[in-house]
Amino acid sequence: MNSTIIKWPGGKKSEYKHIKDLIPEYNRYIEPFFGGGAIFFQEEPEIAMINDYNSLLMDFYRLVKKQDENFLYQLKMFEKNWDNLDKFISEINEKLEEIFKFFREGQLTERDIEKDIDFLLENNLSKFNGIFDEKFVVDIECMFNTMKDSVIAKIKRMKKIEIKKDKKLSREDIYKNLETGFRSGFYYHFRDLLNDCNLNRKDLNRTKHIAIFYFIREFCYGSMFRYNLKGEFNIPYGGISYNYKDFGSKIKKLYSNRIRKIFENTDIYDKDFEMFLKNINLSKNDFLFFDPPYDTDFSTYGGNTFDDTDHKRLADILEKLDAKFILIIKNTQFIDNLYKNRGLNIKSYDKLYSYNVRGRNDRETKHLIVTNY
């Protein structure tokens, strides 16, 4: 099975089995809500047009299509420094473990461990093997403080875990937790930098911006998307299981012959779906796959809302579309009423979600497959 090249919420890789026999022969593949593009990567169309109303995401695909050398360099910097963290942590782990054990036994206060960690990191900066290169981290002081705060927070949490479980952590678990403190600090520094770029920072090169975006998408928890009221992306680091993700293999995949070939005859857009469809000349030999945001209270991906008015705009377009299409969408009362009397063919299947974030998704739900043929 051919997989996607970026983690994206609402992916349709598992849905392919429900629609693969329904997909007609076509000359051109068109996808107005592209996201991670799971169906596109399964189909590997010879000619395609893809669109998503998220410029960061589509600029990522443009750089991949171009096989951009600067983008490759930026990604390689992430790979190198992510790997260097392991070497650094190994060198200072004994001292870190000692600080935690003294804190665990009450021989150090919270203020003490803050001073000790600050001193330890300050005196071992040379061992970071270039992680604090200004060209890479952009803001050295911010990176240092974010990493330090993350490690201190992890040490405090480790003590709370031991108290709650009335059991001491093993040396292996201590190491894994301390390592997660460093790696999450690395992640949070670049998450903050991504938010600065998204909201108000204009001095960073766009290619660097997209490299940060890709790193964060790969290492955020569950590939989820969530923004706070300030417009800041706030998904946390994935945790211990993410510490040894092979980022290098992800980069190799982006620059593989297969990916280069897939994008060779693919046009890339970042418009509102209606604007996108109005500006392309559709024919009866085209096939369109639609995977819009669902009808839920949590229907914002990449900070863009998609409400009932947008769903109605889409349904009105689909009712009049001459080219063949497949739409997959979660069934709700609103969606059922929206599509049932439009002369379209509707099938359904059950879907089991992996994540249920704050009750926003029922773990088990029904999805609709809507076609005009």
**pLDDT tens by residue, 103-153:** 999 999 999 999 999 999 989 888 777 788 888 999 989 999 999 999 999
Asked whether 77 and 136 are in contact (CB, 8 A), the reply is yes
Tokens 């589509």 locate to 58
Residues with Cβ within 8 Å of 36's Cβ and at least 6 positions away in sequence, in order, are 4, 6, 7, 8, 10, 11
How is the chain split into domains, by residue range? 13-67+259-371, 69-251
- Give the model's confidence band at 295: pLDDT under 50 very low, under 70 low, under 90 confident, else very high: confident
Backbone angles phi, psi at 306, to 5 degrees: -145, 100
Q: Which of 69-83, 202-216, 260-274, 352-366 has the lowest mean pLDDT?
A: 352-366
Q: Which of 43-57, 226-240, 347-361 has the lowest mean pLDDT?
A: 347-361
Class of domain 13-67+259-371: alpha beta
Which range, of 58-62, 87-91, 116-120, 271-275, averages the lowest pLDDT?
87-91
What is the structure's pLDDT at 126? 80
Tens digits of residue pLDDT in 207-264: 999 999 999 999 999 989 889 989 899 999 999 999 999 999 999 999 999 999 999 9
Residue 329 identity (one-letter amino acid)? I
CA angle, 111 then 128 then 108, to 5°: 20
Comparing CA positions, the residue from 3, 12, 5 lying closest to residue 326 is 12
DSSP 8-state code for residue 286:
E
Question: What pLDDT was estimated at residue 356?
Answer: 42
- Calculate the alpha carbon distances from 195 to 67, 261, 282 in Å: 25, 33, 37
Predicted local confidence at residue 359, as pLDDT: 47
